[in-house]
Structure formats: C-alpha cells, structure tokens
Amino acid sequence: MQVPVFGRDREIDASRIDADPATIREQVREYEDGVRTEFDLEIDYPDDFTGAVMRAMARIPPGETRTYGDLAAELETAPVAVGQACGRNPIPVIVPCHRVVGRDSLTGYMGGLDLKRQLLEHEGAAIPGDPEA
C-alpha cells in the first residue's frame, strides 16, 4: 500500500502489520503531524536476517541514530549486510530504517536522501556530516 509521508509516497507492506490500512495511514499522518513519535502497530517480522535487522532498527529511539557499523556489531555481521537488509525493509518509516546512517554521512535510503534527512530533522536527530550536528 502507498502511504504519503512529507509529500512522498512510500510503499509499505501492510501484510506485515496487524492493522487495517486506515489505521496505518492515520498513525503515519500523526507521526508526520508531530502528534506521534512511535507507532502502536503489531509488526510481523520476517524470520530471517532482514527480520533481525528490522528488530534492531525498531529499538532505535526517535531522535536518535545508529550507524550501519553499530547494528553490524550488535548482530555480529558486516555493515554492508546491514545496509542491504535496511534496503529490504518492507515497512519503512514505521520500522525506522531512516535512523540508520553512515559514520560520517546519511548514505542510502530507498526513499531518497532528502526524505531521510527530513525524517531525521523531524525527529530532532543529529545528522552525520552536518556542521551543526
């Protein structure tokens, strides 16, 4: 299903969320409006490496980031493997792959780096490589 976020449509696999599409869209809209910082949705995580990375991403609090290397160390794998799994995240924004960044830069986001930056700024997160960070 397509869900608008800051003027861009993001594809979200609603089959992985135990909620009707209207509830999913409403919670994303509340997030965008600043009413909600976390989602109250039951997620069906895949039983594979991507699912493990998704669970790790879901533990990153709003307004914070982790590097691909941080998650790689936590999951005992390589940063590139974490990046690939982030790219396979079927429910972006709700499972916050935008909170995973490079050590010195934003780097990679299926929705585009402009949207990644906008999501992080919306949450008040420091942005790597930003002179004001």
Helices (H), 21-105: 21-33, 49-58, 68-75, 79-87
86 is an active site residue: no
Structural contact between residues 31 and 41, judged by C-beta atoms closer than 8 angstroms: no
Identified catalytic residue from 5, 17, 24, 97: 97
Closest listed residue to residue 120, CA positions, set 18, 109, 131, 72: 109
Active-site residue list: 97
